[in-house]
Amino acid sequence: GILFKGSNFLDLITKLNTVVMDKTGTLTKGVFKVQKVESNIDENEFLSFLTAVEAKSTHPIAKAIVDYTKEKQAYHAENIKEIAGKGLMGSVKGKEVLAGNVKLLEQFNIVFDAEINKIEESIVVVAVDKKYAGYVLIADEIKEDSADAVKQLHENGIKQVVMLSGDKTTIVKKVATSLGIDSSFGDLLPQDKVARLEEIKKDKTRVVAFVGDGINDTPVLAISDIGIAMGAMGSDAAIETADVVIQTDQPSKIVTAIKIGKATKKVVIQNIVLAFAVKALVLILGAGGLATMWEAVFADVGVALLAILNAVRIQKMKF
């Protein structure tokens, strides 16, 4: 289903010409799987440290890591702190553990293998007590209807589709190319996404929708003309902030929402024209002494009933 949080968004969605989308969980399934583990310490200990920290997170990558290590002994983590757009830090068995992207290690001036930057896939790098400990390689899949959704957006009047992601630029560009997205930007922190969207909105001719699902997308959803959240896997914060909620997590439903908006607007215009036309006709007939009380009743109650019946047609339309 599709939830509109107000009739004004049904109208505004018909004026959209730019759609900005997150990658993970929006265009991709957000169901990650661990593909490879590389560690500089004992692998079991490495995974125990990593799982202890990731178990406190709701991020899809964290869930994938926890699922991968569920048969192994896990340590207990304390003082978990989320560093927006970078990862997590916490205390495990008296040691400081960092788990996230390369930017997290750079922030804490931790030296790591330069080859890490050449890896195109998504990885979670880990440091224990300020020393690089290894990484986990993660894979995600593109949703089946993502490419078709982008194609249909273009066919339904959307001039530009943009993808913003905190993932590696190489991965983001690869996904964007495969889906036919006009432009894409990777390695973005939450504040970077906000800055990019504000830059897009500087063009006053643009009506911009942002589509996302994560808690990090909340600020961008809030400043877009229309915020659209993917509800099935979306965070509560994203769903609360959004103006429209796609409850099935299918990107193609964004096109459906636009079509519903256009159909609704068409019916509203039809009802307005019908009401004015009938009332004007009866008014003219009444001024000429040709209209009876029954014509007046029809102009009032009859037109209202016709408008309702016309509006009910929307429920039977297939989008």
The CATH number covering residue 121 comes to: 3.40.1110.10
129 is catalytic: no
- What's the pLDDT score for residue 239? 84
Residues 11, 12, 15: CA angle, nearest 5 degrees:
105
Question: Which one of 107, 139, 171 terminates a domain?
Answer: 139
For residues 173 and 302, membership in a common domain is answered with no
Q: And the tokens for 68?
A: 């991968």
> Within 13 Å of residue 249, how many CA atoms lie on the same side as its CB?
19
Section 90-117 average pLDDT:
91
- 137 CB contacts (<8 Å, ≥6 apart)? 34, 35, 36, 37, 38, 119, 121, 122, 123
In the predicted structure, residue 82 carries a pLDDT above the cut 80: yes
> Distance between CA 224 and CA 212 in Å, rounded?
11
Query: Percentage of residues in the chain with pLDDT exceeding 90?
Result: 62
In the predicted structure, residue 65 carries a pLDDT above the cut 80: yes
For residues 269 and 252, membership in a common domain is answered with no
Residue 232: which pLDDT band, with cuts at 50, 70 and 90? low
Q: Are strands 244-246 and 33-39 parallel, antiparallel or unpaired?
A: unpaired
Question: Which one of 257, 273, 296 terminates a domain?
Answer: 257
Section 101-124 average pLDDT:
89
Identify the burial level of 213 via C-beta atoms within 10 angstroms of its C-beta, where 0-12 means exposed, 13-18 middle and 19 or more buried.
Answer: buried
Q: Which residue has the higher pLDDT, 289 or 279?
A: 279
> Distance between CA 146 and CA 303 in Å, rounded?
43
For residues 151 and 10, membership in a common domain is answered with yes
For residues 153 and 23, membership in a common domain is answered with yes
- What's the pLDDT score for residue 252? 94
- 111 CB contacts (<8 Å, ≥6 apart)? 132
**32: nearest Cα among 6, 53, 54, 1:** 54
For residues 38 and 14, membership in a common domain is answered with no
- What's the pLDDT score for residue 179? 95
Residues 229, 100, 102: CA angle, nearest 5 degrees:
115
DSSP 8-state symbol, 249: -
* Helix boundaries (H) for 108-227: 146-155, 169-179, 190-201, 218-223
For residues 155 and 302, membership in a common domain is answered with no
For residues 177 and 106, membership in a common domain is answered with no
For residues 212 and 296, membership in a common domain is answered with no
Q: Which of 22, 213, 217, 243 is catalytic?
A: 22
Structural domain for 196, as ranges? 2-28+143-257
**51: nearest Cα among 35, 62, 60:** 62
Residue 234: which pLDDT band, with cuts at 50, 70 and 90? low
Question: Which one of 87, 111, 139 terminates a domain?
Answer: 139
For residues 242 and 179, membership in a common domain is answered with yes
Q: Which residue has the higher pLDDT, 223 or 71?
A: 223
Residue 215's domain is classified under what CATH number?
A: 3.40.50.1000
For residues 147 and 248, membership in a common domain is answered with yes
- Count of structural domains within the chain: 3
Give the Å distances, CA to CA, from 318 to 28, 118, 260, 313. Answer: 26, 47, 9, 10
> Distance between CA 68 and CA 257 in Å, rounded?
37
For residues 243 and 285, membership in a common domain is answered with no
Q: And the tokens for 249?
A: 């997590």
**102: nearest Cα among 119, 90, 82:** 119
What single letter denotes the amino acid at residue 226?
Answer: I
For residues 77 and 158, membership in a common domain is answered with no
